[in-house]
Structure formats: structure tokens, C-alpha cells
Chains A and B, each alone.
Chain A
């Protein structure tokens, strides 16, 4: 993980140096250019620049925003943006998990029935239709044509009914893809679990169909789910990029888009760095959670050590 982070940071550094006029614009006056170069250590040899860059990065000093939020440290900008994005994504996840799980269990238990076919059809539909198309569709129908919900996110501080109703559409747009993914995954896992030998054994031991399904099949089919759910959280952060733009939410996602539009490189790179950290942490979490949840892997690990 540390190596990957190091590689990402290094790529960031060298790519930013490749962009012509990234710091001082091409047409800047010579005095300004010299001052800027001094400020950003551009007058020193590349190797020194690299070391300074690394040192700054790992002490969370990402420099200052150049054009978008002039003279504000990037870290402060990001800090104000994170809570909103996180809030939305957690709500979306809270909606996604129970719905996805229950749909998956229903489809898995009633495989090849009408319910299963309907759910499967919905799953392939929601996996295929891109989130931005879906978000635009929701916005057009429910906010514009029918007027049920506000068009953009209500940004008043504190809590109110208006604010909640304005959050419904973005949350829906964020969660449908996840629901479909979980449903599809759980359906196949559960079907496999239902047909496995241990189900036969548990029934031969005298458990009823319901008992063996609840105690053995469903429990076992939930294990690989953490493989899907944890990266989904990072994907949600990525997916919220577009949704945030559509619904006018000033979070991390729209920050990336804005900083790209304004060529604010320090801001972009710091935001990307945050995404990388979240992504890498989620990968680490998956590896750790496997050992915690699945007893087979714990035992397997023990065997190797002996």
C-alpha cells in the first residue's frame, strides 16, 4: 500500500512538471515568474524539487489553491468539502445495503420464478444504464416535470424537511447501481450455497428447509459480500462525481470537476491523492475483513504458519 501511494505521488509530481506553464502562466511577467518559481522551489534542481514535494505531501501540506480558491491552503478547501460528500454517500449506502441484500436473497431463494426474472431484469437494467443518464432522467422527471423534489440540493445549514427532500434524488441516483450489484452477487452466491453439500447434510441432520437456509446458506453467502461492499464505497465516491455535478452539490466530486476546469493543478492533485488514500484503505480493509469474517481463511492462514 505504501509503495502504491509512493508511486501515485511520484506520478503526480512528474506529470505536473510535464504540463507546460502549470504554475506560472506562459505569458507571465519575468519578475512574477521568478517570484513564483522561488515560491514553488522551481529554481532548484529537479531532484531537490522532488524531495521537497515528497516531504510536503507526507506532512499533508499540499500547497495553495491557485485560481479557484485563491491563496487558500488546499487542505482547508478539501476539509470543508468532505463532510457533505461523505454524508450523501453514507445515506446512499444505508439505502443500498438492506435493499440490495433483500432483493438478492429473494431472487436467490426463488430462482427461475417470476419474481426472480423481474428482479434480474431490473438488475441488468440498472447495471447497464450509466449513473449520469439515470441521474439526469430522475432529475428531469421527478424534479422538473412532476415537481415532487427540488431541482438542486438545498444548502441551508442544519436540518429541515426541504433539505431532506432535496437529498432524496441524489441518494437514489447514487444507490441504484450499488443495489443492482449487490443483488446480482448475492443471488448467485446464495444459489450456489443452497446447492452445496452442507445444506444436504444439515437437512439430513433434521433441520427444516427454513432453518438450514437461514442458519447456513444465507450466512455463508454473505461472506463474499464484503468483497463487493467495501470497494463500492470508494466507487460511490467516484460515482458521486457526476451526481454531484448534476444536482449542484459542492462536495469532493464537483471540486475535482471545477479544479480541472480552472486548471488548478495543486487542488486537483490533492483531491486525487485523497481518492487514492480512500481507495487503498478500502483494499486493505477487504484483506483484513476476510480473515475476520471467514473462519476458513483464518484456519488456512494458521496452517501455513505451522
Chain B
């Protein structure tokens, strides 16, 4: 209810204390004279008309409402962009995720075009002794500051200089867009390959979770009664085990790898999914249309998959979308604890954990994976919220 209509109702309610209701019998007595009666549609032929408006399906309707929400539309575009980059990103550079250039370790980012603007131009700022400056030769781009440092009574002439690391290391021909790590692997390729693996883990685990959740939740919700009670006790007991405990234990045994990550995420996340689907089944199974179908002889399987599940598809998609950032977060979290994927293969969490160790000396190693995981999670959360609003049956048809 809007604020205005609420105030109106309130005023009516307050006014009704003083309002005198007319005697109902007096209203009935005021009859119209017969002459004034006139049939309205005497001459018209009345028959059912075909709808002139276009029918709108469930998904089309949701899409129309989703499109109206700017923020989630932008989030969708960002997600698609990240996915596309995660697929083609590693291919557009001449390096692979395991090509090592040991002589070019820990180079800062350098990007064609942007380097002329002074951003990502492969330079670092150093504090050096003035006498050392000659060693650096061409690579000195600019002297920012000169000062005197008193060290054990001696005065040392110091300079703050901007040094082009690419010239210093003899890597003028190379453009490492996101810089390199300590053994000279291109971070751009590694970050996107990591994003690909993180996304893959998230997506696969969520899809399998959906499947398990649909089977478990629909059986539990549809049949109800004793079956439901036993199944719910099982999920309650399993659901009480903290995520951290079960994931650490399983990864300890299975060894870190994509498969064990997916398995752990399935073990943990199928429970909320099945609970949500059970709730949906509880809601729909007593509807009249289900009863009508049952009276006409539909089997349980048909009722579950043909009549109830399609109605629950909106919340399922929403929950699945919101579960993906959770899975990505869990993956990076576990990688961060040193339970990450094995060495040459990167994932966002592994990259972050590696970067954290050298945060102060080479922040670019943390910056790019952190940015991508944050953007990805932000986009998925906003996108999921938009989907929830779009699929919400209570909001259907409220906007024109």
C-alpha cells in the first residue's frame, strides 16, 4: 500500500467514529420508477472475443521486468564480459599460463597505449643512492626527488626515481598487461585462466546441486508426512556441520584439485538448495490446479515434473545464481588457506594467496585477482537480486 492510500484509510477509520450509517431500509425503499429502466445491450450481439493483446510467456514476462532494472542489466553485461574474457583471455596473449621468463620476474603491468598516459607503463618508484644511479642507465625515466639520508652519522645522497623496469630487465619487446609473478609468468593469462577455473567450479557445483536439490527436495516436499520428516532430520543433522570443518576434512583426504573442490561444494551446498525446493513444493502441491490434474488421473511423476516444478523454476534459478558467487568465494577462501589447486594451475584464490605474501613490494599481484573476484561477486549478487524481483510472482503485472 502506498503512503497516500494508507493515510486515506487511516482518515476513514478515524472518521468512522463519528459517521452515522443511514438506515438500510430507507435505501431499499427508494425505488426507481419503472419508466427509467432501460436495457443497455438490447441490440448488440454478444460473443467471446479473441484476445487482442499478445500473450506473454513466463520467461518473456520475467525478461521484461528484468530489463527495467538498470543495475541488474549492467551486472548481466559485466558477467558476460568476464565470462568471455575468461574464455578468450588466455588465448589473446602470446604467453601461456605456465610459460616462465625467469629473467623477467615481478615486472609491473605495461599496456600498449595506456603507457603513454603514464598508467600501466611498467615503471616502479625506487629510493636509491645517487651513486647507484649510473648503473640504471636508460631505464631511469624521471627523478622525482633528491634528499639526504643520515645513516650511522654518514650523510648519504639519495634519490627517488621512477624506473622503467622493462628497459632495466631488457624486456622492451614484451607487454605483460597485468605484470608478471616471481618467476615471470604473465599475470594477464594467469588471472583469466584462474577466473575460468573459479567460474567452472562455481557453475558445475551449482548445476549438480540443483539436480540433487530438485530430486531430494521434491520427494521430501511432495510426499510430505513421515518421508518428509525423516528426510528433514537427515538434512538438519548434516546441515549443522560447519562448512569449514567438512571442506577442510575432505580436501585433506582427497587432495586439492578441481574435482575435490566441486565435490566439497556439492557436499555443503545441496542442503539449502533442497530446502528451498521443498518449500516450493509445499506451497504449490495444495493448489487447485494440481488437484484438478490429479483428479484427471495424472501420476505423481507427471505432477512433480510437469505441474509443480515449472512453477518453482523462478526461485530455483535465483537461488542458483546467488549460489555461484558463494561457490567462488568458498573456492578462493579455501585456496587462501593453502588448500588450493596444485601449482602450475592458477585459480583466483591461489593467485590472491600468492599475491598476499608480497603485497607491499608488488601490489599488482594482488590487485588484479582481487578486482576480478570482487567485480564478479558484486555482479552476480546484483544480477541475482534482479532475477529474484523479476521472477517474484507478487510483482507480476505491477509495472506497465
What is the bound-complex CA distance between A242 and B380, given in angstroms? 23
What is the bound-complex CA distance between A246 and B357, given in angstroms? 9
Shortest distance from the beta carbon of B12 to any chain A beta carbon, whole Å: 10
Interface-facing stretch out of B112-120, B246-254, B387-395:
B246-254
Residues of A near B366 (CB, < 8 A) are 136, 140
Check: B165 CB closer than 8 A to any chain A CB: no
Check: A142 CB closer than 8 A to any chain B CB: no
Interface-facing stretch out of A48-56, A67-75, A121-129:
A121-129
Interface-facing stretch out of B93-101, B291-299, B336-344:
B336-344
Partner of A8, one of B245, B363, B380: B245
Chain B, Cβ-Cβ closest to A135: B356
What is the bound-complex CA distance between A144 and B377, given in angstroms? 26
Q: CB-defined interface of A223-241 with B at 8 Å, one 1/0 digit per residue?
A: 0000000000010001001
Interface-facing stretch out of A12-20, A37-45, A82-90, A93-101:
A12-20
What is the bound-complex CA distance between A136 and B349, given in angstroms? 13
- On whether A130 and B377 interact (CB within 8 A), knowing A124-B382, A137-B370, A140-B359, the answer reads yes
Query: Count the A residues whose beta carbon is within 8 Å of the partner chain — how many?
Result: 46
Shortest distance from the beta carbon of B26 to any chain A beta carbon, whole Å: 29
Shortest distance from the beta carbon of B1 to any chain A beta carbon, whole Å: 7
- On whether A242 and B337 interact (CB within 8 A), knowing A140-B360, A283-B240, the answer reads yes
Residues of B near A203 (CB, < 8 A) are 10
Q: Cβ of A242 and Cβ of B374 under 8 Å apart?
A: no
Residues of A near B248 (CB, < 8 A) are 256, 260, 268, 272
Q: CB-defined interface of A134-175 with B at 8 Å, one 1/0 digit per residue?
A: 001101100010000000000000000000000000000000
Interface-facing stretch out of A23-31, A274-282, A289-297, A298-306:
A274-282
Check: B241 CB closer than 8 A to any chain A CB: yes
Q: Cβ of B336 and Cβ of A275 under 8 Å apart?
A: no
Check: B381 CB closer than 8 A to any chain A CB: yes
Chain B, Cβ-Cβ closest to A274: B245
- On whether A276 and B242 interact (CB within 8 A), knowing A19-B252, A129-B377, A136-B359, the answer reads yes
- Most chain-B Cβ atoms within 10 A of its Cβ — which of A128, A136, A139, A276? A128
Q: Cβ of B378 and Cβ of A128 under 8 Å apart?
A: yes
Check: A3 CB closer than 8 A to any chain B CB: yes
Q: Cβ of A8 and Cβ of B373 under 8 Å apart?
A: no
Q: Cβ of A133 and Cβ of B252 under 8 Å apart?
A: no
Check: A257 CB closer than 8 A to any chain B CB: yes
Check: B27 CB closer than 8 A to any chain A CB: no
Shortest distance from the beta carbon of B368 to any chain A beta carbon, whole Å: 11
Please tell me the size bucket of the interface on B.
Answer: 35 or more
- On whether A124 and B381 interact (CB within 8 A), knowing A8-B241, A268-B248, the answer reads yes
What is the bound-complex CA distance between A246 and B237, given in angstroms? 33
Partner of B10, one of A132, A200, A283: A200
Check: B29 CB closer than 8 A to any chain A CB: no
What is the bound-complex CA distance between A276 and B356, given in angstroms? 28
- On whether A272 and B1 interact (CB within 8 A), knowing A132-B332, A136-B359, A241-B244, the answer reads no
Residues of A near B325 (CB, < 8 A) are 128
What is the bound-complex CA distance between A200 and B252, given in angstroms? 57
Q: Cβ of A132 and Cβ of B241 under 8 Å apart?
A: no
Partner of B242, one of A3, A129, A132, A275: A275
Check: B6 CB closer than 8 A to any chain A CB: yes
Chain A, Cβ-Cβ closest to B237: A4
Check: A1 CB closer than 8 A to any chain B CB: yes
Q: Cβ of A133 and Cβ of B9 under 8 Å apart?
A: no
Check: A195 CB closer than 8 A to any chain B CB: yes
Check: A35 CB closer than 8 A to any chain B CB: no
Q: Cβ of B249 and Cβ of A133 under 8 Å apart?
A: no
Q: Cβ of A245 and Cβ of B373 under 8 Å apart?
A: no
- On whether A256 and B352 interact (CB within 8 A), knowing A1-B240, A19-B252, A127-B381, the answer reads no
Check: A32 CB closer than 8 A to any chain B CB: no
Q: Cβ of B249 and Cβ of A12 under 8 Å apart?
A: yes
Check: A204 CB closer than 8 A to any chain B CB: yes
Q: Cβ of A276 and Cβ of B249 under 8 Å apart?
A: no
Check: A34 CB closer than 8 A to any chain B CB: no
What is the bound-complex CA distance between A245 and B337, given in angstroms? 8
Q: Cβ of A279 and Cβ of B242 under 8 Å apart?
A: yes
Residues of A near B332 (CB, < 8 A) are 130, 132
Shortest distance from the beta carbon of B332 to any chain A beta carbon, whole Å: 6
- On whether A130 and B329 interact (CB within 8 A), knowing A136-B356, A256-B337, the answer reads yes
What is the bound-complex CA distance between A200 and B339, given in angstroms? 55
What is the bound-complex CA distance between A203 and B332, given in angstroms? 51
Q: Cβ of A260 and Cβ of B338 under 8 Å apart?
A: yes
- On whether A275 and B381 interact (CB within 8 A), knowing A136-B359, A242-B337, the answer reads no
Q: Cβ of A132 and Cβ of B381 under 8 Å apart?
A: no
Residues of A near B329 (CB, < 8 A) are 130
Q: Cβ of B339 and Cβ of A124 under 8 Å apart?
A: no
B26-73 residues with Cβ-Cβ distance < 8 A to A are none
What is the bound-complex CA distance between A279 and B240, given in angstroms? 7
Q: Cβ of B245 and Cβ of A276 under 8 Å apart?
A: yes
Q: Cβ of B1 and Cβ of A195 under 8 Å apart?
A: yes
Q: Cβ of A124 and Cβ of B352 under 8 Å apart?
A: no
Residues of A near B249 (CB, < 8 A) are 11-12, 15, 269, 272
B255-302 residues with Cβ-Cβ distance < 8 A to A are none
Check: B13 CB closer than 8 A to any chain A CB: yes
Check: A46 CB closer than 8 A to any chain B CB: no
Check: B14 CB closer than 8 A to any chain A CB: yes
Residues of A near B10 (CB, < 8 A) are 200, 203-204
What is the bound-complex CA distance between A125 and B381, given in angstroms? 9
14 sampled A-B residue pairs with Cβ under 8 A: A1-B240, A4-B241, A18-B253, A132-B332, A132-B333, A136-B359, A136-B370, A140-B366, A241-B337, A256-B337, A257-B337, A257-B338, A276-B245, A279-B245
Q: Spell out B's residues near A (CB within 8 Å).
A: 1, 6, 9-10, 13-14, 237-238, 240-246, 248-250, 252-253, 325, 329, 332-333, 336-339, 352, 355-356, 359-360, 363, 366, 370, 373-374, 377-378, 380-382, 385
The 10 closest A-B pairs by CB, nearest first: A128-B378, A279-B242, A128-B377, A133-B370, A4-B240, A272-B245, A129-B374, A15-B253, A128-B381, A4-B237
Name 14 extra pairs, CB < 8 A, besides A1-B240, A200-B13: A4-B237, A7-B238, A19-B252, A127-B381, A133-B373, A136-B356, A136-B359, A245-B336, A256-B337, A260-B248, A265-B252, A272-B245, A275-B245, A283-B240
